[in-house]
């Protein structure tokens, strides 16, 4: 299928308005690939006609699907392990009596990051005394995270001990998959949230994971997201970004303590 420049521009404009993310021309083939599947589901073989349906006819339900598809990225458990090593050290130094340890996975995708954090917290703290909130722009990803069912390949960086303690190995039709155990899922909550819009009332956090999402935004939008996220970090808490991301040019009030780790003082 082909996509006209006019249709690409219309999709890019709508996507930017909703997500704050700019679709550069280099993403054109990705957009075509994602839209082809959606158009086929509606019985359309013309991408321009599909874009007309979504944009000109203002089909909001279909627009949600477009945003979901364009924000879907592959992830895996225990990505960027230095952050989990830092978090483990932080938990070892933690004094008792400070209330639940709360972590926000602010761009949680299909949930692997949040459940990686959950495994570590359950190991270091126990089954109680901690909470995790995972949010994502994509409603499809939120649904996937709640299901907690993953291809085994995504656990390639997960220790065998953690897999045995916290996951169930699939059999029969679920062969090659894993399911995060119910007792771990009980302390992890997922919801839809747009980092470019007012955030839901989710409380304050000891640690916020904001990884591999700022790279998609321009400087002004990055600064706006960090300004929105920072008040939810407890004083003395930490913000983790992706290792390919930097806050050095932004006036955030955060202090860099290690690569891609910032403290709120």
Say whether 34 is catalytic.
yes
Query: Where do we find the tokens 């340890």?
Result: 101
d(CA 139, CA 149): 16
First to last CA, the chain: 53
∠ CA 228-230-231, nearest 5°, is 85
d(CA 121, CA 100): 11
Say whether 136 is catalytic.
yes
From the candidates 34, 102, 185, 211, give the one annotated as an active-site residue: 34
Kindly give, in sequence order, each residue whose CB lies less than 8 Å from that of residue 151, ignoring residues fewer than 6 positions away. Answer: 176, 177, 178
β-pairing, 149-151 vs 177-180, is antiparallel
From the candidates 9, 59, 68, 136, give the one annotated as an active-site residue: 136
Active site residues: 34, 136
């Amino acid at each position: 299928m082909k996509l006209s420049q006019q249709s690409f521009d219309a999709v890019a404009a709508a996507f930017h308005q909703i997500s704050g993310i700019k679709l550069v021309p280099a993403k054109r083939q990705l957009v075509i690939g994602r839209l082809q599947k959606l158009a086929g589901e509606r019985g359309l073989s013309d991408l321009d006609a599909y874009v007309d349906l979504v944009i000109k006819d203002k089909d909001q339900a279909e627009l949600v699907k477009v945003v979901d598809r364009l924000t879907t990225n592959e992830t895996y458990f225990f990505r960027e392990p230095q952050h989990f090593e830092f978090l483990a050290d932080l938990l070892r130094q933690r004094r008792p009596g400070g209330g639940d340890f709360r972590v926000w996975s602010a761009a949680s995708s299909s949930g692997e990051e949040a459940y990686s954090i959950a495994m570590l917290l359950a190991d270091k703290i126990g089954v109680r005394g901690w909470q995790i909130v995972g949010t994502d722009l994509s409603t499809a990803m939120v649904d996937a995270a709640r299901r907690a069912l993953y291809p085994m390949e995504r656990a390639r960086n997960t220790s065998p001990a953690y897999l045995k303690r916290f996951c169930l190995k699939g059999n029969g039709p679920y062969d090659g998959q894993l399911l995060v155990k119910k007792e771990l899922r009980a302390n992890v909550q997922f919801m839809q949230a747009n980092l470019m819009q007012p955030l839901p009332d989710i409380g304050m956090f000891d640690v916020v994971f904001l990884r591999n999402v700022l790279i998609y935004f321009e400087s002004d939008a990055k600064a706006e997201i960090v300004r929105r996220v920072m008040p939810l970090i407890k004083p003395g808490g930490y913000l983790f970004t992706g290792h390919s991301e930097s806050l050095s040019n932004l006036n955030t009030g955060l202090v860099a303590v290690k690569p891609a780790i910032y403290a709120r003082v």
